[in-house]
Amino acid sequence: MKMLWAPWRIEYILAKKPAGCILCDKPKESDDVGNYVLYRGKENFVILNMYPYNPGHLMVAPYRHLGNLDDFTDEELHEHFEIVRRFVTISRETFNPGGFNMGINVGKVAGAGVEGHLHTHIVPRWQGDTNFMPVVGDIRVVSEGLAETYRRLKEKL
């Protein structure tokens, strides 16, 4: 049996999970670099997913804690999807993926990791980025650190 060492994961495993909503709390803080907040619009912001499926996994979220698309004002909704469009373009220029998965998970049963605060995922995809590791080892390999991904995207803004 071969071993895959990931000692940096212990910090996450042992860390006390914060109360509240990360998508409400992080934009209220002033440390955008430390929190991986890439962009702040008037109604929405962009943050790197700290537990990404792939390098460059972004989330676009409103500042307000909104659980459904019906709860958005027209201005919030328009800006939200303008930002999604902009960051797909920026991600394409930065990472040159073969495609994207984009989506919104509404409710825990639908896979919402941050339940109750609607957000849109933008996940760059490459040919061959899915392999045997998740199936056989229940392990996902992410080939670039968050700080480097943040730096590369921030350069494009």
Catalytic residue positions? 119
**Inter-residue contact 153 to 91 (CB < 8 Å):** yes
Among candidates 78, 79, 80, 74, which has minimal Cα distance to 60? 80
Angstrom distance (rounded) from CA 105 to CA 49: 14
Q: For the beta carbon of residue 5, count every other beta carbon within 10 angstroms.
A: 6
Q: Tokens 């049996």 belong to which residue?
A: 1
3-state secondary structure of 109: helix
Listed as own residue / partner, the contacts of 10-13 with beta carbons closer than 8 Å and 24 or more positions apart are 12/51
How buried is residue 129: exposed, middle or buried, by Cβ count under 10 Å (0-12/13-18/19+)? Answer: middle
